Structure 1
């Protein structure tokens, strides 16, 4: 390398090249040696026209030129590859202003690299610029990292723009860092409106004050409540409306500290759909009760006709006895009492029917179990006297109260009892047993008959919709019964009877202790 081998030739006092700053020969030689051996960057000296007069070892390694090929070359061919391009940076440097910029440089093999270039004017003895010093540093790795970061940011922006769930990123102070497109649509804010704001602007007013305390407690104790766990919370839109959402929060550490990413799913549509499903289920249950009453209409008409006929007969007899009242007043009283009892009986039948088919609200209360079963039995067994059914009750004293919807539980019982009576049609023994038993925190209710029983292949599908063992059945009664029982948190199943027939069981929750309902 010419200038490295003869550094003093460049700085000879008789002819100082470029009119460099005046210095003693030792100082000039030391500066030349220092510049020549700088390894991490290229150091080039040019005249005012851009011709290279000196290059160091770093320049040779960076541009991959031999020393003799660099000296005398136009600097523009290295920086821009076009010697005719105007040197705006050089013109600024002529005003004694150090110029720094980034550009692409060309190696001898025409490969390009990113570079940070600093141009410093070199004054001569008359203080006017006589040339330029170039410091060129390879920043390819840095620019590649910046491009990768930009690509990552662009990818993140793409994710934020397309992810279906709303996504909000906050820092450890609760300040919003990014706000996805889905979040904009969900909350009604633009990203620029919320970035830098506290995330509690997305919360109901009564929750805002507590949020910062949650973050502080987590950072202090590490105790997780939401982070890593999904939970249902209430959020607030820009227009002030509130809605339910499912929130999942993840945590990460960055160069700037911790960040928290919240993934938000609007549950408004889901809740509306669930409400609609419940409404349809209630409607189906109600229709099922009406259908059950339809099948019982003829027997109910016969059953009601008996007390009404008796009322008429007793009243006619009483009327005939009135002229003999003085000598037979007791018989008149007995007839009137009997007529009254039959009228009450008819009224009870009508009352039970109206209660059973009434739509009403689906509400659960603490209900005494024995009266509920007896009332449902009387309704279900109406018109079955001719069948000779004998009914037995086995009640567990400990299973005395349930927490349930009275009418819906009665619907299950009526359906099971009517099915049991139908199954015993033509059987030699027609015994029906209704039993209760405490089973942990649940109460088991059993309806057991001595009828024809169930085949083993029928039991697995028995509670599916449209599955029936009756020639003229729709297959909805047991399916609806299962819906009612499971909605109460219980289960329903069937099994063969101990000796003959079938046993249907279902469980319901016991009434909670006083003060915990």
Structure 2
């Protein structure tokens, strides 16, 4: 007999005794008013209640108890007592028959309801197991002592352990060695103080350990539940290995695209660069040739002239070398790396490549860099690529303008940024084109591929800023982009 059945049986017996006792007390209380009326009728109520609520056995016990109580209360030899007893027994039998049938019907209904509830519970459990078996996120349930209570199929695939191996063991088994002790300390501190670092805080990225000892990054979200005084923690785990690999591949493709854009820009400027390099090289040749001619005439008075010619040749050679060096740095492929740079120096170096041949075209340039916000945290080469692209676009836009003025300025921006602005005095940009100016394959130039400004946006956003353009009231276009100031990075 189960504990529940045992308790139910004794509960029915106590109910029968209580019903008979209450009926006896009621009978004694009403005795002056009942007179010669059948006394046993009151006890039929006790039998009815016991049989309805407890079934046949409590009904029989209530019947016997009622007879015993009535015999104790009725003087012996009193006329009619035997007849009353027989009437009571007949009535009790009828009541027991009807009440036990009603009780049996209730039990059948209750049993059907219980079976239905059990079927629904089994269906819910099967559905829950099916979800856990197919959901891509692994699920691990632990108690407040960090012992594993449940280990889903996805967790088995992810970590390489079976549920049978893991249930009952400490969750630290899934952690790298250096993190195992810290986890138990964290759980103990949380239970003592309620200080949450992971529980209920959304998804956090941590390192986990597989069965073979290898580690991998995972995204962890932990929830807490308290049921009947038992505290459990449920963790949902997502492997980030493929996500990080995909992000690395995307970053590599972006870097390749940015590098290709630099090469394309240099290809576009090839003729101008050739002209710019030809000037110092020609000057070097002329100076050296002149110095050689003077040296053939062995006169001491020619020495200062020869020295001056050689100095000029050296300066021109260094000028050509500087152009080649900057060109080589600009087109070189390298890893993206942020560093603290002086914005004024960035603009100056970028202009030396971007504005080659601009002076000969009558372009006036002005640099208005705010020294109070000149230190920025950027990728040097990529930021110069943005500056070169914007300055070259400005020069091209002013090709047909009467006034050709290019201005590069900077000013502090809210939120710890500095805004760089490149303005021109060209005809401006068609509003329809301006709406999609920074989208790929959308160009304001005839025959342009429409990638330059799209790549500029990619670079600026990768460096933590934003880029936009606006028409100037006096004519021309202003391109703005923001960079992170060094003071902001340090304060963080």
Q: Same fold by TM-score, threshold 0.5 exceeded?
A: yes
Match of 1:352 in 2: 326
How far does residue 221 in structure 1 lie from its aligned partner after superposition?
2.5
Q: 1:461 aligns with which of 436, 456, 459?
A: 436
Q: Find the aligned partners of 1:207 and 1:348 in 2 and give their Cα distance.
A: 52
| 3-state SS, counterpart of residue 224 of structure 1 | coil
1:316 aligns with 2:330: no
Q: 1:489 aligns with which of 464, 467, 476?
A: 464
Q: Find the aligned partners of 1:42 and 1:504 in 2 and give their Cα distance.
A: 94
Quick check: 492-501 or 313-322, which moved more? 492-501
Match of 1:169 in 2: 141
Match of 1:22 in 2: none
Quick check: 346-355 or 212-221, which moved more? 212-221
Provide Cα deviations, 1:60-82, integer angstroms capped at 9, x if missing partner.
545559xxxxxxxxxxxxxxxxx
- Closer, same or farther: CA 282–62 of 1 in aligned 2, 3 Å: farther
Quick check: 331-340 or 417-426, which moved more? 331-340
How far does residue 42 in structure 1 lie from its aligned partner after superposition?
4.0
Q: Find the aligned partners of 1:192 and 1:512 in 2 and give their Cα distance.
A: 54
Greater helix proportion: 2
Contact 1:37–1:57 under 8 Å retained in 2: no
Q: Find the aligned partners of 1:507 and 1:424 in 2 and give their Cα distance.
A: 24
Match of 1:69 in 2: none
Give the 5 Å matches for 1:416-435: 416-435=390-409
How far does residue 328 in structure 1 lie from its aligned partner after superposition?
2.1
Q: 1:331 aligns with which of 305, 310, 335?
A: 305
1:264 aligns with 2:237: yes
How far does residue 344 in structure 1 lie from its aligned partner after superposition?
0.6
How far does residue 139 in structure 1 lie from its aligned partner after superposition?
5.3
Q: Find the aligned partners of 2:245 and 2:181 in 1 and give their Cα distance.
A: 30
Q: 1:246 aligns with which of 219, 229, 237?
A: 219
How far does residue 113 in structure 1 lie from its aligned partner after superposition?
3.9
How far does residue 329 in structure 1 lie from its aligned partner after superposition?
1.7
1:373 aligns with 2:347: yes
Q: 2:375 aligns with which of 398, 401, 404?
A: 401
How far does residue 143 in structure 1 lie from its aligned partner after superposition?
4.8
How far does residue 238 in structure 1 lie from its aligned partner after superposition?
1.3
Q: 2:268 aligns with which of 282, 295, 303?
A: 295
Q: Find the aligned partners of 1:168 and 1:220 in 2 and give their Cα distance.
A: 23
| 3-state SS, counterpart of residue 431 of structure 2 | coil
Q: Find the aligned partners of 2:210 and 2:95 in 1 and give their Cα distance.
A: 64
Count of aligned pairs:
412
Question: Any unmatched runs of 5+ in structure 2?
Answer: 1-45, 59-91
1:207 aligns with 2:179: yes
Q: 2:452 aligns with which of 477, 497, 500?
A: 477
Extract structure 1 runs of 4+ deviating beyond 3 A.
33-39, 41-44, 54-65, 111-114, 138-152, 512-517
- Closer, same or farther: CA 192–331 of 1 in aligned 2, 3 Å: same
Contact 1:482–1:492 under 8 Å retained in 2: yes
| 3-state SS, counterpart of residue 189 of structure 1 | coil
Match of 2:71 in 1: none
1:438 aligns with 2:412: yes
Contact 2:460–2:483 under 8 Å retained in 1: yes
Contact 2:343–2:369 under 8 Å retained in 1: no
Question: Any unmatched runs of 5+ in structure 1?
Answer: 1-32, 45-53, 66-104, 115-137
Contact 2:207–2:215 under 8 Å retained in 1: yes
Q: 1:153 aligns with which of 98, 108, 125?
A: 125
Q: Find the aligned partners of 1:181 and 1:414 in 2 and give their Cα distance.
A: 55
User: Considering only aligned residues, what root-mean-square deviation do their CA atoms show, in Å?
Assistant: 2.8
Give the 5 Å matches for 1:86-125: 113=108
How far does residue 326 in structure 1 lie from its aligned partner after superposition?
2.0
Match of 1:501 in 2: 476
Quick check: 327-336 or 177-186, which moved more? 327-336
Match of 1:40 in 2: 54
Q: Find the aligned partners of 2:308 and 2:136 in 1 and give their Cα distance.
A: 79
Match of 2:151 in 1: 179
Quick check: 56-65 or 229-238, which moved more? 56-65
